[in-house]
Each structure stands twice: as structure tokens, then as C-alpha cells.
Amino acid sequence: MACTIRELTPADVPALARLHVETFNETHGPGPTHELRERQWREAFEHDDGTWFCFVVEDEAGNLVGFAKGTPHDGGVPGYEGELNKIYVLRACHRQGLGRRLVGHVARRFVSRGVNSMLLFGDAGNPSNGFYEHLGAERLYSPEGEFHGGYGWRDLHGLIAVCSAD
């Protein structure tokens, strides 16, 4: 499948909201409604301070099939500057390299902004966690030594190289 990755635009919000609901439900089970997701994405654009960004994956027919959002990290975990805030790809489109390409786009954008490390917070039981480990992420543990689903990359240049490899 030939797909294009591009920057999210306000015109994409209705389609992105549908995709967000569908991919969230595929991953976690029933969650927020389309109306809530659409409102959240519209509000993000209304209050856009230039710190966050989002890439979408579009298939040959122009349908959105994946997305990834990057934000600055709030500093709660020392040593990480950026956060892969969201990444979802339709299950039917898994194992086609789209997630890897999205992560690479996010990492390159961060590096272009002088951000050289990134983390993400996910579900410790998510079957997709192996994907992050395959891309070289290290598990982040609580002070008590527990893994709660956090992953980090201390060197985004290395991640970019992994994501660019064929």
C-alpha cells in the first residue's frame, strides 16, 4: 500500500477524530466518542501555541489510516525533552512500516527543533510494546522498579537511523 505522511491540517479534524476513535477502540476497547475526539482536536488547533505537531498517514484513496502527535515533555521524567504523545495506525495497516515511518517523522521534527530525546507513555500490557523495543526504546521503570508502559529514546539521531533503514 502506497501511503503518504503529511502534516495534520484543521480540515483533517473530522477524519482524524473518526480514526482516533477507531484506532483507540482497536487498541484499548471502547473509549471516547467521535464528538469528544473532534472537539479535542478542534480545541488543540484553537489553542495552538506552536509546541505540538501531528503527522497523518493517508492511503492511496485519501483516507487517514494512522497518526502520531509530538509534544514537549513536561519534565516529569528527567532526561527527556520530547514526548510521542499519541501514535495509532489502523490494525488492518499494521506491519507495513507505517508506524516506523511515523516515529521517524516525529523524531526528525523534534531534532529540527533542538530536541534530542523522546519518551512515550503507554499501556504496559499493550501488544504493540514490542514495536517500541524493536525501534530501540528502553523501558522506563518507576522508582520502585515497576514497568508501567513508559519507553524512552535518549538519542533521537539513533532512532532516526533505525526508522530510515530499509
**How many alpha carbons fall within 13 Å on the CB side of residue 31?**
15
CATH 3.30.1860.10 fits 4-164, yes or no: no
At which residue does the C-alpha cell 497523518 appear? 56
- How confident is the model over 12-58, as pLDDT tens digits? 999 999 999 999 999 899 999 999 999 999 999 999 999 999 999 99
The answer to whether the predicted template modeling score (pTM) of the entire model surpasses 0.75 is yes
Sheet holding 147-153, edge to edge: 4-7, 53-58, 64-72, 82-89, 118-121, 147-153, 138-141
**Joined grid coordinates for residue 129:** 510494546
pLDDT given at position 40:
97
pLDDT at residue 100 tops 60: yes
CB 131 within 8 Å of CB 99:
yes
Q: Which residues pair with 58 in a beta bridge?
A: 4, 64
pLDDT at residue 166 tops 90: no
pLDDT given at position 165:
75
Segment 65-88 mean pLDDT: 96
Domain boundaries, the chain: 4-164
Among candidate residues 79, 82, 24, the one with its CA nearest the CA of residue 51: 82
- How confident is the model over 119-163, as pLDDT tens digits? 999 999 888 899 999 999 999 999 999 999 999 999 999 999 999
